[in-house]
Chains A and B, each alone.
Chain A
Amino acid sequence: MTSSTIITNNSHARIVEFVSTLFAQHLAYTGMASRVEILNEGGFRSDGRRQFELRSINIDLSQQGHADGSASISHGLTHVLVSVFGPREAKNRSQTIHDRANLNVELSIAAFSTGDRRKRSRGDKRVMEVAGAIKSTFEPVIQTSLYPRSQIDIFVQVIQQDGGVLQACINATTLALISAGIPMVDFVCAISGGVHSTNPFLDLTLIEESDVPNLTIAVMPKTQKVSLVTMETRLHVDRYEEIFRLAIDAGLIIHEEMKAAVLARSKTLMTCIDLGTHGGEEME
């Protein structure tokens, strides 16, 4: 499995999204999933992607409100917004740790983000679980020991979900932390993968996620270390390694996208700084 087989697709993404929107609407009204072919004979998935094709990724690093760093990312129809505050003094003194910064992750999911409306409160089990996963993923990556007795707040807002919520949350958090200038060891790039009979595939939509065994992993591209693996379904041991390796490759591809976005953002900022310091004289 070479990474060149994994492609991010932006060309017919519009059509793909249109089709899956209609489909999700259909599910919401009828309340039942008609049998969907996960992978048809031509090797296409329910939204027209190939096995190793990722959904289109959109990254926006512009500043949101008063946040020190913020990022919004969309993987296809899944859309997540993250704001990072800090390192700053903790609101609650008891939460401070004497030798490193404390990470505070709060997740909220918009009620209209799914097919069936569901309002999840702050104490919801699912919400706590995802927030916990994000926290434990980033704890070893952020250089927390540089900021003793302080707190870094990570506020995650899920605006739309169509599978791969955790992966989107982690990717957006990485970008928001970077744009807040918080020192980290490496990027963290997350991706989900699944297996349909013997065929592995990547970046699952909601329909696929509910139908096939799947896992989400987060990779640190430089060292190729894995900082998170979660799986809530059963998967055959023989299939596990294949999908795991494939997901790591895909994580590296996502890293490229994220790096490009960060560089583009830094470039605009640098241009602005240049304009400010030289009064625009050296502009070509």
Chain B
Amino acid sequence: MSTTLLSKAEKSFIQAGLLSNPPSRADGRSLHDFRTISLETSVAPLANGSARLSIGRNPYDGSGGTEVLAAAKLEVETIQHGSGGVEGGKIACSVTCSPAAYPHLSSAALEDLQYDMTTILQDTLTHPSLHPKNLGILSGKKSWLLNLDLVVLVDSGNVYDAIFMAARAALWDTKVPRTRSVEYKAKKSGTSGIVGGGGKAGDSGGDMDVDEEVVSGFDTRQIQKATDFELPDYWDEGEVLDGRQNWPICVTLNIVSPVHFLDATSQEEAATPLRVLLMISFDSSQSANIQGMRTLGNGELTVSQLTGLLKDGEKYAREIWQSLNTKLKEDNIGLIKEKNKF
């Protein structure tokens, strides 16, 4: 889907520039250069994790460039038939585009675009191989629902790379509150067997036990006795998401046969017949996994071409991956320092 209107002459001018030797682009970059990427984490105080990412923003007056805001928010869900909760928790992504990012699109077209972006992000991030292990609270009863919301504020090209990088940064930044399971039991002497009444806890101190295995003489079944949970330390932010290293990033390869280039501006995107999105993640042993792939546009691609592209894509992804990790780790240290000030 082209989001910028371009005349035939402009298109062929841009394509000729890309195909010439040496290739020339409007902003003087070489084919495989990225614009500057700037990233800031923990920008939304009400979210559990958030990030603001921009590609190609002018560092002096803060103008121009693609800009994406991502925030992860945790919600408690009850696991019950019909209530949506899933054992082990789940992740729900949504992408919203500000109408200011696509000023010439009608609201219906904008909705379609949003839907496309949401689907690609959701399909990639909710893959079982990436699911974090610490989104469960009480087995069979409660779990976390992680809502990952992205807002595209400005699109100046290469929005998919920006979305995935912002999503990754926000998930990296996400802290899951620590929980402790709570269980209610009847008084030993009493025969009434009141279970669950939260209000009864205040009657006597011994009414509520925390994390203690109680063996009832009657009950021989192996069931979870914990009925509810509490936050042991409210002021503590919690622990990071499990497996946060593994969240994938996206590399968009813009193909003007026979060459391909990276980080297209919106004009270049409009002049590119085919774009290939590669969602790649790297595990601890640094081997690459393809988590998703998508082609956009009406161009054609041969299988042999694709193999070459995959190889190149992996190389680019590795570079982005490494610099993103470095930046996120730096941010982490910065935040800890900031916190210790108080």
Contact = CB atoms under 8 A, between A and B. Distances in A.
Contacts of B103: 66-67, 85, 153
B45 A110 contact: no
A77 B104 contact: no
B99 A113 contact: no
Interface stretch (A155-163, A192-200, A214-222, A239-247): A155-163
12 contacts: A25-B45, A29-B231, A63-B61, A65-B155, A66-B100, A66-B154, A111-B147, A112-B149, A117-B73, A117-B75, A119-B149, A160-B46
A22 B342 CA distance: 13
Contact of A64 (B71, B107, B154): B154
Contacts of A25: 45-46
B69 A106 contact: no
B106 interface: yes
A71 to B, nearest CB: 12
B104 A91 contact: yes
A135 B153 CA distance: 22
A8 interface: no
B186 interface: no
A33 interface: no
Interface residues of B, number: 37
Contact of B67 (A17, A29, A65, A112): A65
Given A62-B61, A65-B154, A160-B45, A155 B99 contact: yes
Interface string B128-160: 000000000000000000010101011110000
A70 to B, nearest CB: 8
A64 B64 CA distance: 6
Interface in A258-275: 268
A46 interface: no
B51 to A, nearest CB: 11
A110 B69 contact: yes
Interface of A: 17-18, 21-22, 24-26, 28-29, 60, 62-67, 70, 77, 81, 83, 85, 91, 106, 108, 110-115, 117, 119, 122, 153, 155, 157, 159-160, 268
B177 interface: yes
A17 to B, nearest CB: 8
A85 B100 contact: yes
B120 interface: no
B98 A28 contact: no
A28 B63 contact: no
A271 to B, nearest CB: 12
A157 B149 contact: no
A268 B63 CA distance: 14
Contact of A157 (B73, B104, B151): B151
A117 to B, nearest CB: 5
Given A18-B342, A29-B177, A112-B47, A65 B94 contact: no
Contact of B45 (A21, A26, A91, A155): A21
